[in-house]
Chain A
Amino acid sequence: MPEQSNDYRVVVFGAGGVGKSSLVLRFVKGTFRDTYIPTVEDTYRQVISCDKSVCTLQITDTTGSHQFPAMQRLSISKGHAFILVYSITSRQSLEELKPIYQQILAIKGSVESIPIMLVGNKSDETAQREVETKVGETQATSWKCAFMETSAKTNSNVKELFQELLALEKKRDMSLSIDGKRSGKQKRADKLKGKCSVM
């Protein structure tokens, strides 16, 4: 494959069952399955535009059910950007992200120039909400990262999540669209951006 060195790697972390795979699948395939299958580790690729050319966006969907420190370290050291997912229906799942964030900080040294998104998934399940939006925002502020609430099920903010993440990367000029066809969609996405806040 050409342009492998040009790959842009995004790693998705989060506790078991928060919807990491669902988010990724919704973004990559546009589908949502109400199945319940834990992930060992999956990687997906998508071609995106980058610096007036194209590059491959590589999304690594990690396991939330058992932490192998060595494995996690490898993923972090290879990743360019990170999505930290919790479920708004589980306070515990937000807690679980703290050691992962610390690990990223330890391996990367500083998070200043590294795009990180804190994501509260399952925003459709308002009845079971345990983590208020404010709590997520506060956490993101202290971690100096961006924050967004999403729902893979209702396809709310999923594309925006990835757009926002790419926009945070200052070293490259990246965009999800590779041709003019989707420009309309992107404008709509820009409007929606009001929902997410960059800290």
Chain B
Amino acid sequence: MKKQFNRMRQLANQTVGRAEKTEVLSEDLLQVEKRLELVKQVSHSTHKKLTACLQGQQGVDVDKKSKKLPLTTLAQCMVEGAAVLGDESLLGKMLKLSGETQEKLAQELIVFELTIEKDVIEPLCDLAEVEIPNIQKQRKHLAKLVLDMDSARTRYYQSNKSSGLSSNLQPTGAKADHLREEMEEAANRMEICRDQLSADMYNFMAKEIDYASYFQTLIEVQAEYHRKSLELLQSVLPQIKAHQETWVEKPCYGKPLEEHLALSGRDIAFPIEACVTMLLECGMQEEGLFRIAPSASKLKKLKASLDCGVLDVQEFSTDPHAIAGALKSYLRELPEPLMTFELYNDWIQASNIQDQEKRLQALLGACEKLPCANNNNFKYLIKFLSKLTEYQDVNKMTPGNIAIVLGPNLLWTHDEGNITEMMTTVSLQIVGIIEPIIQHADWFFPGEIEFNVTGNYGSPVHTNHNANYSLMPSPDMDQVDRRQNDQSRRPLSVATDNMMLEFYKKDGYESNQLNVCT
């Protein structure tokens, strides 16, 4: 009680400035003291934010922690999804692989977070919540002891003064001795405490490098985690890509020919082979094949099923126009025409040659310049079309007719600028290219070919469809005669060619007037 009272009095006196406070700590240590508080605050808030970064629940065991991780639930969901969709499907395979990867990533994350917790968060917490508060507690204790010491000293001097004033006698021995003892004891205690505190504070200062290393650890652990995750992802990526690439059932419509052939490991594009094989089966005698439009919905369905690589031969065998339409669409939708942009001028120039023999030679020259994949498919198609003309008495599709309806799907220019103006003239030129090639198919492409290359479509019966092929080594008179007949049978189209050209030429600069006229 008395001790408390003494402290209060001393503190009051010091506060109002009547008594001086003894500073027992060195200037250095006073600096350290200020720093302690700052370090504590910073460590505290860093600890809090860092904890917030962790995804796993803190303080629970590893198993429970990993189960609650969003990544783990994602992984589970994916693996379950893969099971539902089946490992055989591409989507299933992808989900399974991704799911397993997510699971591994989750494991890495757990390891990472555990390490962070152990090596960074806990020491940081220790620093902010235990080490520094301990020092600060001691500092408070020291302050009290200093107060005790000061008050003991004051009382001692006061009793010395008062006894010296009242009488010049030595202070009453017992009282003075007691006070001095008290004073000395207080000073002693203060000193022990001060030394202890100083040692702790110096220790704290010396350990700054240790505290700083928590953050080095943080970065290192993070780097390790990301490195491992990256390794994991990179090791999976080739598998993912391989799955994508080996998946043969890819859309073929609108895809470059080369790409489709490479991916499917074919020589002849799937839609071409499938349609030709089916048409050989059921469409050769159909009037107006390739001319008459199929039902739009049937065509759409057939194209979509060809895109998936599946084909209901039974269903479409009754609808040859849909099959022909699907083939036409495939050719039309190729990013580059089967007869290529590059050779466009070659073809057109060849068709302009008046002399028949020379024209055929020029066309053959262009044919031989076709890239291998295009040449194969073009040959396949022309052989088929030539076969189709064998039935022209029934299907009415002469080489000329086929060239008219199919030609513009085989060759076009990418020069969009004057496409509308030139379309008709170009179409006619293309007819002039395709017609002789179909007529002289066996001269352009000698030898027989097997249409059912992969043997996947239609019934197996038609394998010797091309048995009755007649080989024509060079364009003979029969063919030439027939061509002339074709022309004589259609004088109107030929006669109107010039008229039509005139029509387009004229329209070129007449369009404004026409608008007024309407």
Per-residue 0/1 for A34-58: is the Cβ within 8 Å of any B Cβ (1 yes, 0 no)?
0111111111110000000000001
**B330 on the A face (CB < 8 A):** no
Which residues of B lie under 8 Å from residue A37 when comparing CB positions? 400-401, 404, 489-490, 493
B503 proximal to A (CB < 8 A) = yes
Q: Is A66 interfacial (CB-CB < 8 Å)?
A: yes
> What is the interface size of chain A, counting residues whose CB is below 8 A from a CB of the partner?
40
Closest CB-CB distance, B47 to chain A, in whole Å? 68
User: Does B291 lie within 8 Å of A38, measured CB to CB?
Assistant: yes
Residues of A within 8 A of B400 (CB): 37
- For B288, B420, B492, the residue with the greatest tally of chain A CB atoms inside 10 Å of its CB is B492
Contact B420 A74 (CB under 8 A): yes
Judge whether B408 is part of the interface by a CB distance below 8 angstroms: yes
User: In the bound complex, how far is the Cα of B431 from the Cα of A160, in angstroms?
Assistant: 35
Hey, which chain B residues are within 8 Å of A171, CB to CB?
518
Q: Is the CB of A40 within 8 A of B510?
A: no
Q: Give B200 Cβ to nearest chain A Cβ, in Å.
A: 87
Nearest-Cβ distance from residue B467 to partner chain A, whole angstroms: 28
B-side contacts of A64, CB under 8 Å:
291, 293
B511 touching A78, Cβ below 8 Å: yes
Question: Do residues A71 and B420 form an inter-chain contact, with CB atoms below 8 A?
Answer: yes
Q: State in angstroms the CA–CA spacing of A15 and B291 once bound together.
A: 9
Whether the pair A16, B500 counts as a contact (CB closer than 8 A) is no
What total of A-B pairs shows CB separation below 8 Å? 105
B294 nearest CB neighbor, chain A only: A92
Most-contacted residue by chain A among B293, B296, B510 (CB, 10 A): B293
B328 lies within 8 A of chain A by Cβ: yes
Contact B490 A43 (CB under 8 A): no
Q: Within residues 410 to 441 of chain B, which ones have a CB less than 8 A from any CB in chain A? A: 419-420, 423-424, 427-428, 431
B507 touches A78 (CB 8 A): yes
CB contact list, A87-125 vs B, under 8 A: 90, 92-93, 95-96
Highest count of chain B CB atoms <10 Å: which of A15, A39, A58, A60: A39
| 18 A–B contacts from the bound complex (CB under 8 Å) | A5-B513, A16-B291, A16-B293, A17-B291, A36-B287, A36-B396, A37-B493, A38-B291, A42-B500, A44-B499, A58-B503, A65-B290, A65-B291, A65-B405, A66-B328, A90-B292, A96-B296, A171-B518
Instruction: State the B residues within 8 Å of A (CB).
Output: 287-288, 290-296, 328, 332, 396, 400-401, 404-405, 408-409, 419-420, 423-424, 427-428, 431, 489-490, 492-493, 496, 499-500, 503, 506-507, 510-511, 513-514, 516-518
